Amino acid sequence: MTAGMNRVLITGAAGGIGKSLRRLLPGTYPELRLSDRVVPNDLAAGENFVRADLGSLAEVEGICAGVDGIIHLGGRSVEDSWEEIHPANIVGTYNLFEAARRQGVKRVVFASTNHVVGFYRRTQRIDNEVQPRPDGRYGVSKAYGEALGALYADKYGLRVMCVRIGNYGDKPLDKRRLSMWLSPRDFVQLVRIGLEHPAIHYDIVYGSSDCERAWWDNGHAERLGYRPQDKAEDHRDEALAETARNPEGPVSALFIGGAFCEMEFAGDPERIR
């Protein structure tokens, strides 16, 4: 690993993952700058928070000034209407990468999602090089963010790592999540690889802990040094019991994206291979 990360910006600092990183990252880098469009309700004394709306390029440039690396968590993180997704995840993600370029930021860790590949069947094992198969407007917006990251890496020299986050939390909550759970401390490890590893140019990895039932091959993350510490199967009984109480729908159960695939579904699942 190589450092050079003196000031790191976290966008979306008021969200669930942002709050978690705020507890885990202090001391890792000399300075953390936190940003969101709303002030976190648990902002602690001494935390460096700067409000910004991702929809404003000028405001995003302001929070990127003097920053070495960015952990981009900001934007809409669930399926929604295009009117909600577009300004937050399309315009906002463009503004983030463009502001990073203008301000000479070295690296961006982009929080992508498993929903970029949500319409792959669970019977098929996929890697980080498969074609996107998004399961909704949210997944489309994150596929766009990945493509934008590739452009800024290849054309402008920004180092970018996209993390297709499975399901982030303290434990997997059901059977589906046993295949894609990501613990907070394992996510920190991935973030540090993205910000510090000397070989990063443009890379896509999956954000999951040690998941015995995983539907994807995370070998690329392992080649970059990722060694997950937490095991999904440690929570197996509780997770399986939850799915027994609340079974998945017929479409959800077929695909990686789960319920996101079933929302508004009007196609023929047999034609999705």
Average pLDDT over residues 127-145: 98
The bridge status of strand 181-182 relative to strand 31-35 is unpaired
pLDDT at 42: 87
Contact status, residue 138 vs residue 78, Cβ threshold 8 Å: yes
Q: Is residue 166 part of a domain?
A: yes
Task: Determine the pLDDT at residue 41.
Answer: 87
Would 53 be classed as within a structural domain?
A: yes
pLDDT in tens, 145-196: 999 999 999 999 999 999 999 999 999 999 999 999 999 999 999 999 999 9
- Looking up residue 42, the CATH number of its domain turns out to be 3.40.50.720
Residue 258 lies in a domain: yes
State the chain's mean pLDDT as an integer: 96
Task: Give residue for tokens 């992508």.
Answer: 112
Whether the pTM exceeds 0.85: the reply is: yes
Active site residues: 138
Residue 1 has pLDDT above 80, yes or no: no
Position 2 scores a pLDDT of: 55
Range of the domain at 213: 7-271
Inside any domain, residue 2: no
Q: Assess if residue 1 is contained within a domain.
A: no
| pLDDT, tens digit (0-9, with 9 covering 90-100), for 65-89 | 999 999 999 999 999 999 999 999 9
Quote the number of domains for the chain. Answer: 1
State the Cα–Cα distance between residues 17 and 97, nearest whole angstrom. 20
CA–CA separation, 245 vs 217, rounded Å?
A: 30
Which pLDDT belongs to residue 200? Answer: 98
Any domain includes 118 = yes
Does residue 241 form part of some domain? yes
In a domain, 63, yes or no: yes
Q: pLDDT category, 273, cuts 50, 70, 90?
A: confident
pLDDT at res. 46: 81
